Amino acid sequence: MRISTLLFIFATTAAAQLPSAKPIPRVQAVPMPHHITSFQLDGRELTAMHFDPLDMRPFWHPIRASREVSLTRMGHPHDPLTHSHHNSVWVTHNMVNDLDFWGDYAKKQGRIVNVEVSREGYEDTDEFAAMRMVNHWISEADKSIQLIEVRRTEIRPLDGAKSWFMIIDLEFSPPKGKTTTFGATGFGLVAVRVAKSIGVHDGGGRILNSAGQVNEEAIFRKPARWCDYSGRITNDADGFGGITLMNHPMNPHNPTAFHVRNDGWMGCCLSLDTPVEVTEEKKLRVRYALWVHDGVATQEQSEAHWKKFTEMPVIDLNPPKPVKK
């Protein structure tokens, strides 16, 4: 009897023994040791959320398309010490109540600490996987809470690992009775440090924005709907990939400026010239996305995916809790 026939018989028998067994979702958010959640498509990791309380902030790493190499890196390739805060893909800000949550060695240092992964915070389906968490933005000096953040990460494949969305939903509120201010700065809120081989200087890559402008000289701190960083990731003939960072129209000061550098990073500014105040009555709700893709994205491709992103329903980050019976 052939092995294939034996396997079929075994599988059929197993299914008969467990008729209630459910299909495994294609996309999963899998809790791992050491404060890591792995986002997987058919068992292969696309990215992971790192939220160790000893780190200065949560971050996502690696970011993979169809190849195993990450499209992002940890730290600046030529200045790893003073740019240790360049954590692949991260959320932070340079000036919150005069505290610096951007760098790692500030005189008035802030830290973003995870305090909760919600009981119903993980979602696994065939279309997407998601994780909901609560983070506190605290002063390192006295551990006082400056800001309360609810964050939801959604990984949604569009064409397998060749093309997928990472959607970042954020809601910020101050401690009770307080007002929190995001100061005027180009550093924050969402940033991406691409792999060395993708950078314009180091790898001959390319930055492109929604206005058709190219590289730092033309794009630096200019308003845009999105900004793409693409370049070589392997020496194969088709060994290219990239990330389009997308701003949602619901965000303040839209279209917001993008802070980009030819040395390998891009960020979407929240409050470049105008501070943003957050109160109990006026929480800050923002939404961003990364389109992770194989190849070098054209302007038409990035624009089409930005439109697809903006047409998606906006998630309620604070749904009503189920009533206990």
- For residue 8, pLDDT beyond 60: no
Cis peptide bond N-terminal to 255, omega within 30:
yes
For residue 20, what are the CA distances in angstroms to 14, 23, 61, 93, 321? 11, 10, 36, 48, 28
- Give 229-271 pLDDT, tens digit per residue: 999 999 999 999 999 999 999 999 999 999 999 999 999 999 9
The token pair at 75 is 């730290």
pLDDT at 3: 63
Q: Is 182 left (phi over 0), alpha (psi -120 to 50) or beta?
A: beta
Provide the residue type at 217 as one letter: E
Place of tokens 């020496």: 235
Strand pairing report for 265-271 and 257-261: antiparallel
| CA–CA separation, 7 and 273 (whole Å) | 65
Q: Which residues pair with 206 in a beta bridge?
A: 230
Provide the token pair at 127: 């279309």
pLDDT (tens digit per residue) in 267-305: 999 999 999 999 999 999 999 999 999 999 999 999 999
Q: State the pLDDT at residue 323.
A: 58
- Integer Cα distance of 230 and 242 in angstroms: 4
Domains of the chain, residue spans = 64-310
β-strand pairing of 110-124 with 180-182: unpaired
Q: How far apart, in whole angstroms, are the C-alpha atoms of residue 309 and residue 169? A: 12
Using an 8 Å Cβ cutoff, are 92 and 103 in contact? no
Q: Which two tokens stand for residue 204?
A: 């001959």
Q: What is the pLDDT at residue 6?
A: 47
- Nearest Cα neighbor of 170 from 191, 187, 153 is 153
Question: How large is the greatest C-alpha to C-alpha distance in the chain, in angstroms?
Answer: 75
Instruction: Say whether pLDDT at 166 is over 80.
Output: yes
Q: Please state the pTM of the whole predicted model.
A: 0.94
User: What is the SS3 assignment for 260?
Assistant: strand
Residue type, 174: P
Least confident of 78-92, 130-144, 153-167, 192-206: 78-92
